[in-house]
Structure 1
């Protein structure tokens, strides 16, 4: 069994602690994606989403963090009340431009394809955090006033010298976007894919708002990823696919060997992977 998340950092590892909330230790930095720490129960206006389980780790279990990445701030399954409090006191909070405007001065907004460079405590240069596009629903879905399907969402690519390139999809359902990321970024070593096939009946005819299991396996092939870590596929009632469906889809695609899954809160070491030089 892998070690569980605790304040002591790992050299290079990922842990999904529940829903989308992912801890990434890389380059001497601790990064937390889409923090959600609230207890189970109805969430959002009118309780339109239901959280079924709490996270496998608390903020105190994580200890000091260096960066919080928020794919979008408008949905409680990606940033809840406790998660927002956690994010706003982080040393660095990166998110999309519209989300940054709502979150206030603590947040730095990144447009797709812009990069934030952060010195690495391991003394090996910089960690590059690049914002990448995401489409939070079907390509022809209803758009908001800014032209985004559902709302503005970004994903992230982490890269640096002697590190694996890590892609975190955020709430993306678009294979076109996956192809664009593959063309512009190149090969992805580790893909953390949000693939619970989230569906809300009142939105876009109930069509998937995030990757389905089959689209996740197709994304893995397009990205030529050495390792795929499922996230955002458990803990909420509107996720319509989970680990069993993901395993079956990757097996059907002949890609089961790249699927790196673990119980919530357990580390997945990023070892024996090709790395940038």
Structure 2
């Protein structure tokens, strides 16, 4: 797993399934939203639930140690499950939301850095370039859903040798004005996209993540060199899968369709873009 490394400006991604991605760059190893439980039924609170349909491509032991976990939110099992919580003890630092950091500290997890949208932390290690992690805004549902859905953030990763912009992990979100503003402001090389149009029977037509149309509009604003969808299937609460994204990007104006990059088989490392 650790043999392939990114060169200047690039990163190597390994998609494990769901939102869980290993990001390797200049000796750094970051893991997003660790989910390692086998398939099964999970409750998300407020009467909502979902069934996980596929397990991870790699076990925690196969992933090995990481430098940091980038946790968009801690309170939904499709972003942090039981084995994912155990994995947090194997990392040097967890970067997440402010409320999530407080919950994890109370549970004995540490060290944990809590960020609000716009906040950043500079990660340093001997012999490696520093990496700045900046939290980006998410709204995990319709307007006024924050009390029910909780705090969520995305992450923009920047390092000095980047030539074409940041690596942006959107986190679970719908399209909303704060996210649109950030998409216009960021210079993005690769966006790791969470979509899937999440719905639950108990909440009817309300949608809790981007659908394919919103994903296209976000990427049209950000103009990344590569769009990498990762959290669009594998659970019963997704109502749109890869086919919906393929259709929407194919119909998008300009060259946006050419920027869509589906990960290879889960567990296979790959370089998203050449510098």
In the superposition, the TM-score normalised over structure 2's length comes to 0.88
- C-alpha contact (below 8 Å) 1:42/1:49 kept by paired residues: yes
- State the partner residue of 1:116: 121
Q: Please report how far the alpha carbon of residue 91 of structure 1 lies from its aligned counterpart in structure 2 after TM superposition.
A: 0.6
Q: What residue in structure 1 maps to residue 135 of structure 2?
A: 131
Matching residue of 1:3: none
Aligned runs of 1:94-243 on 2, under 5 Å? 94-104=95-105, 105-106=109-110, 107-119=112-124, 123=128, 125-138=129-142, 140-144=143-147, 150-163=149-162, 164-184=165-185, 186-203=186-203, 205-243=204-242
- Displacement, 1:120? 5.1
> Is the Cα–Cα contact under 8 Å of residues 28 and 121 in structure 1 kept in the other structure?
no
Q: Contact between 2:101 and 2:114, CA under 8 Å: does it hold in 1? A: yes
Change (3 A) 1:143 1:94: closer
Q: 2:250 aligned with 1:251, yes or no?
A: yes
Shift of 1:122: 5.3
CA contact (8 A) 2:261 2:272 kept: no
Structure 1: state its 5+ residue gaps: 1-5
> Which one is further off, 94-103 or 82-91?
82-91
Alpha-carbon shift at residue 213 of structure 1 (Å): 1.3
Q: Which runs of 4+ in 1 moved over 3 A?
A: 120-123
Structure with the higher fraction of residues in strand conformation:
2
Q: Is contact 1:9–1:30 with CA below 8 Å preserved after alignment?
A: no
Q: Return 5+ residue gaps in structure 2 as ranges.
A: none
What is the CA-CA distance between 1:272 and the residue it aligns to?
2.4
Shift of 1:249: 0.9
Structure 1 residue 47: Cα displacement:
8.3
How far off is 1:143 after superposition?
3.6
Q: Residues of 2 paired with 1:175 and 1:221: CA distance?
A: 14
Counterpart Cα distance in 2 of 1:198 and 1:264: 21
Range that drifts further, 253-262 or 70-79: 253-262
Q: Which residue of 1 aligns with 2:68?
A: 67
248, 264, 274: which one pairs with 1:272? 274
* Map of 2:90 onto structure 1: 89
Q: Residue 215 of structure 1 aligns to a residue in which SS? A: helix
For residues 72-106 of structure 1, give each alpha carbon's deviation from its aligned partner in whole angstroms, at most 9, with x where no partner exists: 11110110000011023311101000001111151
Secondary structure, counterpart of 1:49 in structure 2: strand
Q: What is the RMSD computed on CA atoms of the aligned residues?
A: 1.9
CA distance in 1, matches of 2:126, 2:157: 15
For residue 41 of structure 2, give the secondary structure of its aligned residue in structure 1. strand
